[in-house]
Amino acid sequence: MDGSAERPWRSPRACDDYWSEFRHCKSLRSHFHHYYTHGTSPSCQQWKEDYKNCREWEKSRSAEAKEALQRSERSRVEEQKKFTPVWELRRDPPKDWHCH
Amino acid sequence: MDQTKQEEDYGYDLFPERTKSKYAKGSIAESLFTFNNKCQVMLHFAMETSPYAKLLLSAMKSSGCQVFKDRHFSCEDCDGTVSGGFDAASSQIVLCQNNIHQQSHMTRVVTHELIHAFDHCRANVDWFNNYRHLACSEIRAANLSGDCTFNNELARFNFGMKQHHQECVRGRALRSILAVRNISRKEAEKIVDDVFDTCFNDHAPFGRIPHTKKDAGFAYRDYQNRDRYYANL
């Protein structure tokens, strides 16, 4: 997290990235693909919120905006972890990857 | 005889050039009588321009498995209609030069096989003995490589809309398993069902299901940005 206080905090993504994700999410194609995959429409509002908070942080260094952004991103990371892997992750790459 | 049985058990009979090539590598005969050159060119193009491939190559490099075109890819003639495969024994991706004729197809096959290679690199996948592992990697590859886009399914005359993507992923994973292993369809279906939910939701290294090149581009951007992302979480 904010452990090493050498670098000042920055938003996890550039503010423009949040906006482009929002526009991308709202597009017709994205709706189509989401329906095709999940049977529902995507929810895009969070990207817009994040963009707002990102700009807010840039403008006023508001602690509220920073925390809201962090919460949102952490929950995104959690979403991606919602499964139990069937295999064990390696600690090192396979030994024979490079050799012939 | 034991060798042949093993070959059939693990699908190696689909890739006859794994053991013996018809033409010597680099020979003029190979150049004239096979699609080897075309395959090499399309492979190079895919690796250089596709965000799907670039992301996977990046992720593999960070995991300690840097991919070298000459070492880890092999363009060969294959049997039947198979487009490619990942040979864990030699850490090589086989591309079926006689069955891949369009760039978009090549890009998709490269992505699909790189996902297997990526799984091989980051996890202890028991390709030969654990069918759940095999099924999981096939589900991920069908899900994340663009194999199951609406357009690709349409081209196969598989019509479906709501949540069809998932049906497609199931179906293709099943097909891939049955092609390379000697088990019954029922057994294979049960295994795919068992691991489907967990493997369908494993989107590494994309972080999302990339339906289009634009999605993959965003995912690649996120991947390149990951240091900043995790440092500021």
The CATH number covering residue B99 comes to: 3.30.2010
For residue A46, is it within any domain? yes
For residue B231, is it within any domain? no
pTM summary value: 0.91
Q: Is the dihedral of CA A45, A75, B138, B216 positive or negative?
A: positive
Query: Are residues A87 and B125, on separate chains, in Cβ contact within 8 Å?
Result: yes
For residue A53, is it within any domain? yes
Whole-number Cα distances in Å, B13 to A36, B9, B98, B181:
36, 9, 16, 11
Which one of A86, A89, A98, A99 would you mutate to disrupt binding with B, by most B Cβ within 10 Å of its Cβ? A86
Ranges under pLDDT 70 in chain A: 1-6, 100
Same domain, B166 and B182: yes
Name the domain count of chain A. 1
The 10s digit of each residue's pLDDT in B84-142 is 999 999 999 999 999 999 999 999 999 999 999 999 999 999 999 999 999 999 999 99
Name the domain count of chain B. 2
Same domain, B136 and B92: no
A40 touches chain B (CB under 8 A): no
Same domain, B134 and B158: yes
Same domain, B154 and B196: yes
A83 touches chain B (CB under 8 A): yes
Same domain, B100 and B150: no
Work out the minimum CA distance from A42 to partner chain B, whole angstroms: 13
Q: How far is the C-alpha of B67 from the C-alpha of A97, rounded, in Å?
A: 9
| Residue ending a domain, choose from B123, B139, B157 | B123
Domain of residue A58, residue span: 15-78
Whether the per-residue pLDDT at B32 is higher than 90: the answer is no
Domain of residue B109, residue span: 1-17+41-123
